[in-house]
A and B are shown apart, each in its own frame.
Chain A
Amino acid sequence: NAGVTQTPKFQVLKTGQSMTLQCAQDMNHNSMYWYRQDPGMGLRLIYYSASEGTTDKGEVPNGYNVSRLNKREFSLRLESAAPSQTSVYFCASTVSQNYGYTFGSGTRLTVV
């Protein structure tokens, strides 16, 4: 019953460093998403992948890149981290919009 697994759970980066957040789901879902959560802002969509082999920008894509490696995995990359990217990042997946999303437990990222 793993659902959606995110790694790492916590990370501290220095400004300018790069890193990749990993996400994997074992529910055979087609669609996967990356959100960031900031206080008072709710969740904002960074990128999504409606199916294997496709990715699209969301509301706040600047400073990020994604890779849909296969049906299970969807990674988020920060090429040159900035303090404004300090946030909690959530990965989610779904089989169909009527079922809602399954969320991972989040990655808390701090950029200093």
Chain B
Amino acid sequence: AQSVTQLDSHVSVSEGTPVLLRCNYSSSYSPSLFWYVQHPNKGLQLLLKYTSAATLVKGINGFEAEFKKSETSFHLTKPSAHMSDAAEYFCVVILQGGSEKLVFGKGTKLTVNP
């Protein structure tokens, strides 16, 4: 079975400090992994994706994530938080088998304090 676990339901940082949102996955196959962001009362926007190419993936708005197979992790980072980064972030794994279904983590709400 494939699943994804976001280790923190809430993360709070100060503006200008680094952001780390943690995600671990469980998969029998080499996974495809994504991070999505959802701002309040908005839809979901793709931040970045890993699909078995480079293990360090760069996304939009200065975010990046590193795929670590040995640790089954795909943590999302940003060197310096901005107030506009306040949102909910979802780690997502592709469910293999041809149906192309995404399996979502439960989300991490990021608060950025001035």
Q: B51 is contacted by which of A44, A98, A101, A104 (Cβ under 8 Å)?
A: A98
| Interface of chain B residues 56 through 97 with chain A (CB within 8 A) | 90, 94
User: In whole angstroms, how far apart are the Cα atoms of A60 and B64 in the complex?
Assistant: 32
Are B104 and A42 within 8 A (Cβ)?
A: yes
Given contacts A41-B106, A96-B100, A100-B34, contact A105 B49 (CB under 8 A): no
Chain A residues positioned under 8 Å from B9 (CB to CB)? 40
In the complex, whether A31 has a CB less than 8 A from a CB of chain B is yes
Among A58, A100, A104, the residue within 8 A (CB) of B43 is A104
- On whether the beta carbons of B46 and A101 are closer than 8 Å, the reply is yes
Which chain A residues lie closer than 8 Å to B102 at the CB level? 33, 43, 45, 101
**Contact check: which of A31, A41, A90, A97 meets B44 at CB < 8 Å?**
A90
A43 near B100 with CB under 8 A, answer: no
Q: Is the CB of A105 within 8 A of B43?
A: yes
Known contacts A41-B106, A42-B107, A98-B32; A50 and B100 CB within 8 A of each other = yes
Cα A43 to Cα B46 with chains together (Å): 14
Give the size range of B's interface with the partner.
Answer: 20 to 34
Among A35, A48, A100, the residue within 8 A (CB) of B49 is A100
| Alpha-carbon gap, A46 to B107, bound state (A) | 18
Question: Which residues of chain A (16-66) have a CB below 8 Å from chain B?
Answer: 31, 33, 35, 40-45, 48, 50, 56, 58
The reply on B99 being an interface residue by CB < 8 A is: yes
Report the minimum CB–CB distance from A14 to chain B (whole Å): 24
Known contacts A97-B32, A101-B102, A106-B43; can you find 16 more A-B pairs with CB under 8 A? A33-B102, A35-B104, A40-B107, A42-B104, A44-B104, A48-B101, A50-B99, A50-B100, A94-B100, A96-B100, A98-B32, A98-B49, A99-B49, A100-B34, A100-B49, A106-B42
